[in-house]
Structure 1
Amino acid sequence: MAFSPTNRKGTINGVIFVAIFAAAATMIADISFVKSLGISPLVIGIVIGIFYANTLHNNTPKAWGSGITFSGKKILRFAIVFYGFRITFQQIAEVGVEGFMVSLIMLSTTFVLGTWAGQRLFKMDRDTSMLSAAGASVCGAAAVLATEPVLKAEEHKTAVAVSMVVLFGTIAMFLYPALYNVGFFDMDAKEFGIYVGGTIHEVAQVVAVPASILNASAEMANSAVIVKMTRVIMIAPMLIILGIYLSFSAKRSGGEASTVKLVIPWFAVYFIGMAGFNSLGVVPQNIVDIINEIDTFLLTMAMTALGMGTIFAKFKGLGLAPIYTAGLMFAWLMVGGYFITKWVVAVF
């Protein structure tokens, strides 16, 4: 146990060690140039963690390992639950059926496409494929983190998925505004906002796109963010369905019904409950802002701890398969997402 009498001191030291790295990541992310690129402290945290893992790892007391693991597992679940304070059901209702349908269609099709292509076309393992698909289809690095405990995936597989989110999400963040500014997209402000929110990986990247549009309206920015947060809240039912699927898959592959447990990610259920509580409006906005800042720091700690368990030697054998898989999902999000958005807006 992490906090047993023999492990308590090492666990506390390990958590403090991770927190120091996360604080550094937060300060770097707050630099104006870094902020303008839409790079979140979560991404910086994993980069710092990976650098540590492949340079200074052997100089750290082994007893601190329990604290690093605690940060990457337990603190992660706690942070995902409180991620619900970023969302209200009223916000989701504001974009109406169009925003909801685009979010639902793009999430489900992208996850299925990424999982299938990763395993069947590009011969990746199940966990790396599903983690990459979760990151592209829902909300980037936070979705990868939330999916990892359901799959019980290894740290380096999660790091691969996060890397793909960063690469293609960053490309989208610069490509979408450039194409819109030259008149490539035949969309009005609300349509383009729905399209951006329904197809770009990270929340920070979604926020950055309207800010890069010439004379962008508030309607475009609001639609983009609200549709994106609709995708975020859908991570909870997605993880519950994934847990049920994994349980039935285990039974089908020869596990006894009595020994195969139904995997329900309760932190995802609590996440919905927290979003519902936030929707009541009983917590003052300034308190919600503080909670969200603390939650971002906890997620940064989890991501940093994840990076600390990522050794480059474990990547051998993957080759270019993750890039091919993520690239295919990116093409689907950008091209398929455009036509689906146009169709949904026309129909609903």
Structure 2
Amino acid sequence: MNFKQYLVVLPGIVLAFVLYTLSQGFNNIIGIELLGYEKSPISTAMIAILLGMFFGNIFQMRDSFIKGLDFTQKYILKFGIICLGIQLKPFEFLEFGSIAIPLIAICIISVLIVIKLLIKKLKIPTRMAYLISIGSTVCGTTAIMAAAPVIGARKNEVSYAIANITLFGILSMLIYPYFANFYFDAEPLYVGLFLGTSIHETSQVAAAGLIYDQQFNSPETMNVATVTKLIRNTFLVIMIPLFAFLYNRNNVIKKDYSIIAIFPYFVLGFVGMIVLRNIGDQFFLVSYNDLWLNTVLTIKSLSKVFLTMAMAAIGLSTNLKDLKSMGYKPFVVGFIGMATVGVVSILTIEIYLNFLN
């Protein structure tokens, strides 16, 4: 981006940061001043997205803000996720991955089967069902946008699918941290696996992990949820060619797709941050202990600021009026998709627990 392009996105970025600051202020007033806690038990990220939705649906967003809000959702969010890697060690990453991969595969297969059956029952457009299913199972809006060209989806179908995924993703993001804490008895590994497999968007998983960390003081849960979701994102490389084959196998016209174009490269940045943390712990703790620890703490704090800004931007960009035109059938599919991936995630984790015992 050149200097002029940075100026174009600046107002939206500043607005997201102002809303983050406002959310932090509300959090301190409610949690510390009114409720009397030393540290507020309320999540700043949750306040940010709710405030964003409130203001975004009362006021019309000017064009001068929209580009910056889009930039915040797309790039600042990813940078925040990359910064989260500073909290992890490589062996933790491998441990989570060995459990998460089969769990993700089971959830994906289950949702695809259920939605395939729903297409016939509810008689919704096949393309719409494909978009909702890949959004529910892999990585939300990113998966929908990647799948749309290969199945020839219309613009309104893409918009409906994204609105559907956004609605149920936000609901699960706000509800699941509390449900998972109760159901899994505050066990960080299982709560993180559940959040990482059952919530649609990367941003929503990051927010749910952040909400859980801020509510229940469990950074490990946020780490597990983030790693699980990033692994889940890489399944996009498998799912797009699969969807292209399934949808176009009886069609004469084939749609082109590029693995290079759809690969979520920010995952590599996340892994790189893990490596940086461990190299730093090996070489800098002895000679530059205070400097290195302060650097790690700063990066951790920045990750939470960036993620909360992204949540505010998503809230500001969520227009609830657009959901009215969808009709009820796509929402039924979206709800069943959300419920299926959540139930299958719980059952699979339970089976894993029984296997360990």
Q: Is the TM value for this pair above 0.5? A: yes
2:23 to 18, 22, 25: 25
Q: Provide the alpha-carbon RMSD of the alignment.
A: 3.9
In structure 2, the residue matched to 1:245 is 239
In structure 2, the residue matched to 1:103 is 100
Matches within 5 A, 1:1-348: 5=4, 8-30=6-28, 31-32=30-31, 40-57=43-60, 60-92=61-93, 101-118=98-115, 120-121=117-118, 125-134=129-138, 156-173=163-180, 175-176=182-183, 194-200=189-195, 202-204=208-210, 225=220, 229-247=223-241, 249-250=243-244, 253=248, 259-262=256-259, 263-282=262-281, 284-315=292-323, 316-317=326-327, 318-343=330-355, 345-346=356-357
Per-residue deviation, residues 142-179 of structure 1 (Å, max 9, x unmatched)? x75886776687663452243232354145246327xx
Rounded to whole Å, the distance in 1 between the matches of 2:189 and 2:73 is: 33
Checking the alignment, whether the CA contact within 8 Å between 1:49 and 1:305 is kept in structure 2 is: yes
Unpaired runs of 5+ in structure 2? 149-157, 197-207, 285-291
Equivalent pairs counted in the alignment come to 304
- Cα displacement (A) at 1:278: 1.8
- Cα displacement (A) at 1:233: 2.1
Q: What amino acid maps onto 1:322 in structure 2?
A: G
Rounded to whole Å, the distance in 2 between the matches of 1:245 and 1:117 is: 16
1:46/1:151 Cα in 2 relative to 1: closer, same or farther (>3 Å)? farther
Rounded to whole Å, the distance in 2 between the matches of 1:23 and 1:229 is: 24
Checking the alignment, whether the CA contact within 8 Å between 2:177 and 2:195 is kept in structure 1 is: no
Rounded to whole Å, the distance in 2 between the matches of 1:89 and 1:309 is: 36
Checking the alignment, whether the CA contact within 8 Å between 1:10 and 1:67 is kept in structure 2 is: yes
Whichever structure has more helix as a proportion of its residues is 2
Unpaired runs of 5+ in structure 1? 135-142, 181-188, 212-220
Rounded to whole Å, the distance in 1 between the matches of 2:135 and 2:172 is: 10
Checking the alignment, whether the CA contact within 8 Å between 2:110 and 2:341 is kept in structure 1 is: yes
Determine helix, strand or coil for the equivalent of 2:280. coil
Q: Structure 1-normalised TM-score?
A: 0.69
Checking the alignment, whether the CA contact within 8 Å between 2:209 and 2:225 is kept in structure 1 is: no
Q: What amino acid maps onto 1:104 in structure 2?
A: I
Question: Percent identity at matched positions?
Answer: 16
Rounded to whole Å, the distance in 1 between the matches of 2:14 and 2:213 is: 31
Rounded to whole Å, the distance in 1 between the matches of 2:335 and 2:141 is: 19
Checking the alignment, whether the CA contact within 8 Å between 2:97 and 2:228 is kept in structure 1 is: no
1:167/1:111 Cα in 2 relative to 1: closer, same or farther (>3 Å)? farther
